Amino acid sequence: MDIRAGIAAGNKRAAARLITMIENGEPEAVEIIKENYDKIGTARIIGVTGPPGAGKSTVTDKLAKLLRKQGKKVAIIAVDPTSPFSGGAILGDRIRMSDLNTDEGVFIRSMGTRGALGGLSKSVNGAIKVMDILGCDYIFVETVGVGQSEIDIVKVADTVLMVMVPGLGDDIQAIKAGIMEIGDVFAVNKSDREGAEKTATEIELMLDLNGNTEYRPPVKNIIAKDNKGIEELWEAIEKHHEYMISSGNFNKRRQKAIETEILEIFKQNLLDKIERLEKKGEYLSDLTKKVFNKQIDPYTAAQELSSILSKEGGI
Amino acid sequence: MNRPIRVLVAKPGLDGHDRGAKVVARAMRDAGMEVIYTGLRQTPEQIAEAAIQEDVDCVAMSILSGAHNYLFPKVVQLLKEKGGEDILVIGGGVIPEEDIPGLKEAGIAEIFTPGTPTSVTIEFIKNNIKRN
Per-residue model confidence (pLDDT) at position A169: 66
Q: Is the pLDDT of residue A190 over 90?
A: yes
Q: What is the pLDDT of residues A94-127, one digit of tens each?
A: 998 988 988 999 999 999 999 888 889 889 999 9
pLDDT tens column, A40-53: 989 999 999 998 88
**Residue A306 scores a pLDDT above 60:** yes
Q: Domain boundaries in chain A? A: 1-39, 41-247, 259-312
Give mean pLDDT, residues A219-227: 96
Query: Which of A1, A85, A88 has the CB atom closest to B34's CB atom?
Result: A88
Look at chain B and report how many structural domains it folds into. Answer: 1
DSSP class of B13: S
The answer, yes or no, to whether residue A174 has pLDDT greater than 70, is no
Ranges of chain B with pLDDT below 50: 1
Is residue A128 scored above 90 in pLDDT? yes
How far is the C-alpha of A76 from the C-alpha of A55, rounded, in Å? 15
Domain assignment present for residue B132? The answer is no
Mean model confidence pLDDT for chain A: 90
Q: Do A108 and B33 touch (CB under 8 A)?
A: no
Of B6, B29, B49, the CB nearest to A86: B29
For an interface test with B, give the residue of A57, A94, A95, A109 to mutate (most B CBs within 10 A).
A94
From B29, B52, B53, residue closest to A83, measured CB to CB: B29
Sheet holding A138-142, edge to edge: A106-112, A74-80, A138-142, A44-49, A159-164, A185-188, A219-221
Chain A stretch 102-121, residues whose beta carbon is closer than 8 A to a beta carbon of chain B: 102, 107-110, 112, 114
> Binning pLDDT at 50, 70 and 90, where does residue A170 land?
low
Pairwise CB contact (< 8 Å): B39 & A24: no
- Please report, for the domain that includes residue B87, its CATH number: 3.40.50.280
Mind giving me the DSSP string for B54-86? HT-SEEEEEE-SS-HHHHHHHHHHHHHHTT-TT
pLDDT digits (tens, 9 = 90+) for B95-123: 999 999 999 999 999 999 988 999 999 99
Which one, of B121, B51, B65, lies nearest residue B93 by Cα?
A: B65
B35/A101 touch (CB, cutoff 8 Å), yes or no: no
B130 inside domain: no
**What pLDDT was estimated at residue B132?**
59
Please give the biggest Cα pair distance in chain A: 67
Which residue in chain A has the smallest CA separation from B27? A88
H helices of chain A, where? Answer: 3-8, 12-23, 27-35, 56-69, 124-133, 172-175, 196-208, 230-247, 249-281, 283-292, 298-312
| All residues at 6 or more sequence positions from A135 whose CB lies less than 8 Å from its CB, including other chains | A10, A39, A42, A73
Residue B7 identity: V
DSSP assignment string, A91-159: E-GGGGGGGGTT-TTEEEEEEE-TT--SSS-TTHHHHHHHHHHTT-SEEEEEPPPP-SS--GGGGT-SE
Neighbours of A253 (CB within 10 A): 18
Chain A contact for B16, CB < 8 A? no
In the prediction, which pLDDT does A313 show?
A: 64
Say what the pLDDT of residue B1 is.
45
Report the distance separating Cα A305 and Cα A274, nearest Å.
8
Tell me, yes or no, if A89 comes closer than 8 A to chain B by beta carbon. Answer: yes
Q: Which domain holds residue B12?
A: 6-122
Domain A41-247 has CATH 3.40.50.300: yes
Taking 90 as the threshold, does the pLDDT of residue A226 lie above it?
yes
Q: Indicate whether A270 pLDDT > 70.
A: yes
State percent of chain A over pLDDT 70: 96
The band of A278, judged by pLDDT with boundaries at 50, 70 and 90, is: confident
CB-nearest to B54 from A86, A88, A109 is A109
CA A268 to chain centre: 18
For B4, nearest residue in chain A (alpha carbons): A88
Flag whether B18 is in a domain.
Answer: yes
The answer to whether residue B115 sits within a structural domain is: yes
ipTM surpasses 0.95: no
B78 lies in some domain: yes
Whether residue B131 lies inside any domain: the answer is: no
pLDDT value at residue A208: 85
A172, amino acid identity: I
